[in-house]
Amino acid sequence: MAKVTGSDIVAIAWRHVGERYVFGVRVPKDNANWKGPWDCAEFTSWVVFQATGKLFGCVGANPSVANAFTGYWKDDADRLSCGVSVIVARNTPGAFLLRYAVANQPGHVVVSDGKGGTIEAHSTADGVIAGKADGRRWDQGVLPPFIAYEEPSVMEPPESGPGLVLRVKSPPMQGELIKRVQLALTAKGFSPGVVDGSYGPHTAAAVAAFQLSVGLVADGEAGSATRDKLDVRAAEARLRL
Amino acid sequence: MAIDWDAIFKGALAAGAHAVRDSAPQVRDFLEQVLNGHRQALIELGEARAAGDLTKATFDSELADEEDVLKVELEAVTVLAKAVAQRAINAFSKAFQDGLSAAIKLIV
């Protein structure tokens, strides 16, 4: 049997654009007729299983009930040494782009089309979409070892970047902008815990809950799209460094 | 008075290219190409710092993350040696920070 290629991964994923998204849904990876609902990691793990017959990014050996999660994608990428840089995945059809699951937040994982685009189970509002890889924050790329990836002929850098993305880091991100995000979350009924200007797990959880409520990717990170929805704006320059 | 980002980026690009002018004279074009994807992040980061919206530690940490990604991308698009890419990015980043500090002193 010919080895599965990255282009096969893209083709399988494409057939499901337009299908429904449900956060946290479980998908039987061995059901070739599944038409949704999906969530991001269940979608990518299902695509890999359908193409290769192998589980990736899951816990459990039974494909009918194995649980896919962005955190397990990172675990498998580390275990099998198949992590690559974001720019390589961005330019490799059928590679995967991963935003880590941090502080109990779900992260995100998508299929790269190799041309700066994605196919992904995005959100409740949009379902499975053909989206853009550029202009968003990613932590790493993944090339599962049982897929035959072609070396990219051209290595194009992203056309645009994500801008400033507030997120859980160590040490934590701190400042007045984070305090304004926390106040806006509180005002909208999503408690971030203590309003202290420090972006910790409580703030991330409140951001994720807010994102779910407005149809954004619920990753717990506050980039410009999330800050816009919260009506949080940057302040005018006033600091002498 | 707004920060003159074009001037800051122009100076930083020139510094990055100058740092590796002997080993990689072509690096300026690649640096510019790679920088396009980071321009917005660097501007938002600089403006957030200028406005006191981020602490110095958070600004430094974010800038270090941007440097890491820039270095990987520069290596990928140019097949530059890691040490050369690192030198170009270090010089770019230092000039960027110096330019930002100078601009903020002018506008506050």
Q: For residue range A149-162, list pLDDT tens digits in order.
A: 998 888 898 988 88
DSSP 8-state code for residue A91: T
Whether A190 and A209 have beta carbons less than 8 Å apart is answered as yes
Q: What is the pTM of this model?
A: 0.90
Comparing alpha-carbon positions, the chain A residue that sits nearest to B102 is A241
How close A213 comes to chain B (CA, Å)?
Answer: 26
CB contact under 8 A, B108 and A239: yes
CB contact under 8 A, B44 and A164: yes
Whether B17 and B88 have beta carbons less than 8 Å apart is answered as yes
Query: Could you please report the per-residue DSSP string of A108-159?
Result: EEEEE-SSSEEEEEEETTTEEEEEESTTS--SEEE--TTSBPPPPSS-PPPS
pLDDT tens digits for range B29-53: 888 888 888 888 888 888 888 888 9
Query: How far apart are the C-alpha atoms of A211 and A234, rounded to whole Å?
Result: 20
Chain A contact set for B47 (CB, 8 A):
234, 237
Percent of chain A's residues with pLDDT above 90: 86
Flag whether pLDDT at A241 surpasses 80.
no
Residue with tokens 């194009």: A156
How close A227 comes to chain B (CA, Å)?
Answer: 13
Numbered ranges of CATH 1.10.101.10 in chain A: 163-241
ipTM for the predicted complex? 0.84
The 10 Å Cβ neighbour count of residue B29 is 12
Flag whether pLDDT at B79 surpasses 80.
no
CB contact under 8 A, B39 and A155: no
Numbered ranges of CATH 3.90.1720.10 in chain A: 6-142
Residue of A87, A88, A199, A228 for testing the chain B interface, max B β-carbons within 10 Å = A87
The more confidently predicted of residues A241 and A55 is A55
Residue B101 C-beta-side C-alpha neighbours within 13 Å? 10
pLDDT confidence of A92, banded at 50, 70, 90?
A: very high
Domain A163-241 falls in which CATH fold?
Muramoyl-pentapeptide Carboxypeptidase; domain 1 (1.10.101)
Average pLDDT, chain A: 94
Which residues of chain A are at the B interface, by a Cβ-Cβ cutoff of 8 Å?
Answer: 85-88, 134, 155-164, 169, 171, 173-177, 224, 234-241
pLDDT recorded at residue B106: 63
Query: How far apart are the C-alpha atoms of A61 and A55, rounded to whole Å?
Result: 8
Chain A contact set for B41 (CB, 8 A):
161-164
Q: What single letter denotes the amino acid at residue B76?
A: A
CA–CA distance from B73 to each of A86, A87, B30, B62 (Å)? 9, 6, 10, 17
Flag whether pLDDT at A236 surpasses 70.
no
pLDDT recorded at residue A87: 94
Q: Which of A85, A224, A234 sits opposite B72 (nearest CB)?
A: A85
Cis peptide upstream of residue A158 (ω within 30 degrees of 0): no
Chain A contact set for B50 (CB, 8 A):
237-239, 241
CB contact under 8 A, A174 and B33: no
Query: How far apart are the C-alpha atoms of B41 and B70, rounded to whole Å?
Result: 12
The CATH superfamily assigned to A6-142 is endopeptidase domain like (from Nostoc punctiforme) (3.90.1720.10)
pLDDT recorded at residue A240: 46
How close A159 comes to chain B (CA, Å)?
Answer: 5
Residue A2 DSSP SS3: coil
pLDDT tens digits for range A96-120: 999 999 888 889 999 999 999 999 9
